[in-house]
Amino acid sequence: MPATHPAQLHELCQSAFNAANDEALAALYEEDAVFVTGPGSSITGRAAIRKAYQSFWTMKPVMRLETASVVERDDLALLEGKWVLIGASPEGDQVHIAGTSHEVVRRQPDGTWLYAIDDPGAGQ
């Protein structure tokens, strides 16, 4: 199901992430989208983004992602999300991470929305 309004991307992202479905996650991004992986570091493209998500699955994570704000103008929107991720380290210890994300999303020619730039750790 494609996003028909910007904030719906957060709902779809949470659902795909919690299902460990990196293919569905990658489909939420434009083909040449940018994904920030850390301060001053990013990757580009669906294939690289899909691979980045695959690195999470060993910790069996569950994420809660809520839309904090949406600013929309024409075919662009800026999203801010608040997220919490709970999983387990390789040693079995609980991992609990929370953060704020900022995303630039763009309306596609068919009217759906995709991530153009995703900075999941913007507020850390």
- φ, ψ (nearest 5 deg) of residue 47: -60, -45
pTM of this structure = 0.93
Taking only the tens place, the pLDDT of each residue in 28-82 is 999 999 999 999 999 999 999 999 999 889 999 999 999 999 999 999 999 999 9
Q: Tokens for 72, please give them.
A: 């929309």
- The SS3 call for residue 30 is strand
The full set of domains in the chain, from first to last, is 8-119 (3.10.450.50)
In this predicted model, what pLDDT tens digit does every residue of 95-122 receive, in sequence order? 999 999 999 999 999 999 999 999 998 6
How far, rounded to the nearest angstrom, does the alpha carbon of residue 35 sit from its chain's CA centroid?
8
Query: Which residues contact residue 17 at a Cβ distance below 8 angstroms, ignoring those fewer than 6 apart?
Result: 25, 53, 56, 61, 63, 65
